[in-house]
Amino acid sequence: MSRSNPYAKLSGKYTPMARSKPTLGSKAQKNARESISLKTLAEHLGLSKTAVSLVINRVPAAKSIPHRTQELIRAAARELNYRPNHLARSLRQQRSYTIGVLVPEISEGYAALVMSGIEDHLLQEGYFYFVVSHRHRNELIEEYPLLLQQRAVEGLIAVDTALSEGVQVPLVAVSGHRELPGVTNIVLNHARGATLALEHLAKLGHRQMAFIKGQEFSSDTAVRWDSVRGAAAELGVEIKDRLVGQLEGESSSPELGYQVARKLLALGEPFTALFAFNDISAIGAIQALREAGRCIPDDVSVVGFDDIQSAAFQNPGLTTVKQPLREMGELAAQTVLGRINAPVKQSYPKEIIVEPDFVVRGSTGPVPGSCPKK
């Protein structure tokens, strides 16, 4: 005897687009104008409270429920104005279902792409989150994890944040490079990224290269610069101190890269390629090069790092080392939730390494040939 599908009876039971709307008792009609209970919603759909709760609260176990059934449950909840009582659930289970996220700032670029991955996964799994931006201020980097824990977050995700100590809840650090108790670091293979960029420029014939380093406070600056120097030594590319500039200031504006490129140009040391710390600074550098009469890429090739959303839409499109930033955000969220829901004494990964890719666009080309002057 075949086992019947417990959700089959829902088929056709509730269709928001149907000509005749489902009828409820007078009490339910009154509640629908306000907010109905989970029990009322489940009875109306002909399903168990457990099944409806799994879908509404986006619990992982809801994946066992047919997709069509999930859609009908959500549609009914919207039509009947059902509002889940997250506070009651938290009190009943003694959990907050909340994650704290620390970022340097909220702006277009690196952090925004990582956040998009974090957000999507947490929402999918039914978790709420707090986001705080610390602007790389040490006192806030120390204070915010404590404040978030006081607000009962179950875990923390730190993005490009130079933490100095662990915390009492599971913590995942994106671009974290310090080995700390209770912390899982998600890091890019910077050595591979630097090799991809310099190999590309070297194959195009470039030997006179300029470089823009990141700000001293950025978690990736030191490891990325060490990787650049290592790749250059392997490829026989000379790094001249006079052709190395460093970003200064907390802003994420292209203005920082613009100012560094102007200083490099003012030195009069020739270079045919520039490798920038990130895409934002590369975009600023391109503007400075153009103002100095240099054509991109005919006079100077430019390589960025990150592959932010606007990189492909520059003129010319920016060649760059691609960090899978959105995927790194998803991985951070998956990891912190995995640690939260794991058995108490289960071990956790100390480090997770992700691989970069390299995207060639119009900002790089062979060693200077000709460029039409207007």
Q: Residue 70 sits in a domain of what CATH number?
A: 1.10.260
Which two three-digit tokens encode residue 74? 């959500």
Q: What is the pLDDT of residue 285?
A: 98
Q: What is the pLDDT of residue 68?
A: 87
Same domain, 129 and 211: no
Apex 130 CA angle, 183 and 277, nearest 5: 60
Block mean pLDDT (10 aa), the chain, length 374: 45 40 46 65 84 74 82 85 62 74 84 92 88 90 92 93 88 92 95 98 97 93 96 96 93 92 96 97 97 96 95 96 96 95 82 97 86 45
β-partners of residue 321 are 305, 358
Q: What is the pLDDT of residue 34?
A: 52
Q: What is the pLDDT of residue 276?
A: 98
Q: How far is Cα 106 from Cα 138, in angstroms, rounded to an integer? A: 17
DSSP 144: H
Residue 204 included in any domain = yes
Q: How far is Cα 202 from Cα 206, in angstroms, rounded to an integer? A: 5
Same domain, 196 and 179: no
Are 114 and 105 a contacting pair, CB within 8 Å? no
Residue 136 included in any domain = yes
Same domain, 261 and 319: yes
Same domain, 311 and 202: yes
Q: Which of 84, 109, 124 is the endpoint of a domain?
A: 84
Residue 11 included in any domain = no
Q: Which of 28, 51, 84 is the endpoint of a domain?
A: 84
Q: What is the pLDDT of residue 92?
A: 54
- Give percent helix, percent strand, percent coil of the chain, each to the nearest 5: 40, 15, 45
Query: How far from 123 is each of 256, 282, 305, 330, 343, CA to CA, in Å?
Result: 35, 33, 29, 11, 23
Count of domains observed in the chain: 3
Residue 15 included in any domain = no
* Nearest by Cα to 223 from 198, 247, 187: 187
Same domain, 312 and 275: yes
Q: What is the pLDDT of residue 38?
A: 77
Residue 68 included in any domain = yes
The domain that contains 250 carries what CATH number? 3.40.50.2300
Peptide bond into 297 cis (omega under 30): yes
Amino acid code (one letter) for 32: A
Find the domain containing 197 and state its range: 190-323
Same domain, 316 and 199: yes
Peptide bond into 254 cis (omega under 30): no
Same domain, 163 and 132: yes
Same domain, 303 and 258: yes
Apex 145 CA angle, 222 and 120, nearest 5: 80
Same domain, 114 and 167: yes
Same domain, 245 and 159: no
> Tokens 């075949």 correspond to what residue?
2
**Count of alpha carbons within 13 Å of 26, Cβ hemisphere only?**
0
Same domain, 242 and 316: yes
- Look up the pTM and report it: 0.75
Q: Is 238 helix (H, G, I), strand (E, B) or coil?
A: coil
Same domain, 76 and 100: no
